[in-house]
Amino acid sequence: MRRAFISPAKYVQGEDELLNLGYYVRTFGESALLIAHPEDVARVKAKLDATAGKFNITFIESGFQGECSRQEVARLQAIAKEQRCACTIGLGGGKAIDTAKCVAEGEALIIVPTIAATDAPTSHSAVLYTPEGAFDDYAYFKQSPSVVMIDTTVIANAPTRFLVAGMGDAISTYFEARATARSYSNVNAGLPNGVREGICGDAKGTKTALALAKLCYETLLEDGLKAKLSCDRNVVTPALENIVEANILLSGLGFESGGLAAAHAIHNGLTSLEGTHSYYHGEKVAFSTIAQLVLENADQDELDEVLSFCASVGLPICLADLGVDSISNEELQEVAQKACIPEESIHSMPFPITVEAVAAAIMVADQIGREFKKRKEA
């Protein structure tokens, strides 16, 4: 059996870590193409100026236009070539990070998240969109970022909702990796472009990835609420540090090398409901994790544990929490059908999947969440 595990070459996090960014740029050369929204640059401008001066490097401003599109990637690659940039930096949220991955194409890449809202920073994949913002395609690269660097002072000063959404994304990691391991399904770490390279692209997850996914879940339960309270007060505590690591590193390695299953597929289905559009990825994943547990008839104690955690930090546990106060049978079927398309990760569950079963799981998960809230409010 072929197994695969993928990770960044280096991961580092800490208070004021941005002051060391110039050191990592120096390992590649004297200049870096900086891909970031202007607002994100403004938030950390003093630290960027300080590290540039200390390590005598230059940040080349990219004028990032906000969308990870083929046109924007081509424009930025031209700038990098013209300016002879030694490396690429993706600083900010998901779009800037994914654009940097596409520009760098797996070489000399430094990722600097300014929020801990998803587990994407460590991965070797990106999502491409059209210039208008519609989904285009997935992109995979030969390796993960060279450096993933997180300044936890910056994370602590970002809105708490981002950190909580990251916990919602991370809460699914163990349950999806567990399902993938039970079904012996393939994982993203197994070279999705292997056919073009003459290498078999099929690979199963490792015990290492499953162990990291489990540690991710345990860390959330232990430190999630404390980290939220720390972020509410814009301070860095050991609990906040632990949750940043769980949201980004443990969940990132866990999903890519451990596998995705029903939760992320159901999330994708939920995006067809207009009410969910103002909610973050991780917020939708949190409810979708509950639906996955219903789908697999998980132990009641485990289900209650997840519900209690989500409620404690403010993650959605029913459809109403995602802006969906009511759902018609037609809408429910549309969600389930989208979650069950042949290429979706839901088919990594260790049993056959049907649209009817997924629709039922969503409906029951919603009811369980509503009743849980009523008991808590009583």
Q: What is the CA radius of gyration of the chain?
A: 20
Q: Indicate whether 198 pLDDT > 80.
A: no
Residue 242 lies in a domain: yes
- Condensed to tens digits (0 to 9), the pLDDT of residues 279-305 reads 999 999 999 999 999 999 999 999 999
Confidence category of residue 191, pLDDT binned at 50, 70, 90: low
What is the average per-residue pLDDT within 237-248? Answer: 98
Q: Are residues 274 and 295 in the same domain?
A: yes
Q: Are residues 114 and 202 in the same domain?
A: no
Residue 4 lies in a domain: no
For the annotated catalytic residues, the residue numbers are 169, 264, 267, 281
User: Are 309 and 283 in contact, with CB atoms under 8 Å apart?
Assistant: no
- DSSP class of residue 204 equals B
Q: Are residues 174 and 108 in the same domain?
A: no
Confidence category of residue 192, pLDDT binned at 50, 70, 90: low
Residue 5 lies in a domain: no
Q: Are residues 84 and 211 in the same domain?
A: no
- DSSP class of residue 8 equals -
Please identify, among 102, 121, 156, the residue that sits at the C-terminal boundary of a domain.
156
Residue 282 lies in a domain: yes
Residue 129 lies in a domain: yes
Residue 2 lies in a domain: no
Q: Are residues 110 and 77 in the same domain?
A: yes
Q: Are residues 165 and 72 in the same domain?
A: no
Q: Give the position of tokens 């989500």.
A: 310
- DSSP class of residue 143 equals S
What is the per-residue pLDDT for 376? 83
Q: Are residues 183 and 325 in the same domain?
A: yes
Cβ within 8 Å of residue 280, ≥6 positions away = 117, 161, 162, 165, 168
Q: Indicate whether 200 pLDDT > 70.
A: no
- Condensed to tens digits (0 to 9), the pLDDT of residues 145-157 reads 999 999 999 999 9
What is the per-residue pLDDT for 100? 98
Here the CATH number for the domain that contains residue 75 is 3.40.50.1970
Q: Are residues 81 and 167 in the same domain?
A: no
Q: Indicate whether 276 pLDDT > 70.
A: yes
Distance CA 143, CA 8 (A): 8
Q: Are residues 192 and 336 in the same domain?
A: yes
Q: Which tokens in the block code for residue 148? A: 């993933």
Q: Tell me the three-class secondary structure of 231-280, residue by residue.
A: HHCCCCCHHHHHHHHHHHHHHHHHHHHHCCCHHHHHHHHHCCCHHHHHCC
Q: Are residues 183 and 282 in the same domain?
A: yes
Provide the annotated binding site for glycerol: 119, 169, 264, 281
Please identify, among 113, 133, 156, the residue that sits at the C-terminal boundary of a domain.
156
Residue 335 lies in a domain: yes
Beta bridge partners of 140: 125
Confidence category of residue 133, pLDDT binned at 50, 70, 90: confident
Confidence category of residue 195, pLDDT binned at 50, 70, 90: very low
Q: Are residues 222 and 360 in the same domain?
A: yes
- Condensed to tens digits (0 to 9), the pLDDT of residues 98-122 reads 999 999 999 999 999 999 999 999 9
What is the per-residue pLDDT for 194? 45
Distance CA 184, CA 172 (A): 18
Average model confidence (pLDDT) for the chain? 95
What is the per-residue pLDDT for 305? 98
Reported as type and span, the H/E element at residue 127 is strand 125-129
- Condensed to tens digits (0 to 9), the pLDDT of residues 319-341 reads 999 999 999 999 999 999 999 99
Q: Are residues 180 and 317 in the same domain?
A: yes
Distance CA 356, CA 335 (A): 11
CA-to-CA dists, residue 331 to 274, 337, 338, angstroms: 10, 10, 11
Here the CATH number for the domain that contains residue 239 is 1.20.1090.10
Q: How many CB atoms lie within 10 A of CB 375?
A: 8
Number of domains in the chain: 2
Provide the annotated binding site: 94-98, 119, 123, 129, 169, 264, 281
Q: Which domain holds residue 64?
A: 10-156
Please identify, among 122, 156, 190, the residue that sits at the C-terminal boundary of a domain.
156
Distance CA 225, CA 229 (A): 6
pTM above 0.85, yes or no: yes
Residue 3 lies in a domain: no
User: In terms of C-beta distances under 8 Å and separation of at least 24 residues, what long-range contacts does 334-342 make, across chains too?
Assistant: 334/269, 334/272, 335/266, 335/269, 335/270, 335/272, 335/273, 335/359, 335/362, 336/269, 336/362, 337/269, 338/268, 338/269, 338/271, 338/272, 339/262, 339/265, 339/266, 339/268, 339/269, 340/265, 340/269
Confidence category of residue 196, pLDDT binned at 50, 70, 90: very low
DSSP 35-81: E--HHHHHHTHHHHHHHHHHHT-EEEE----S---HHHHHHHHHHHH
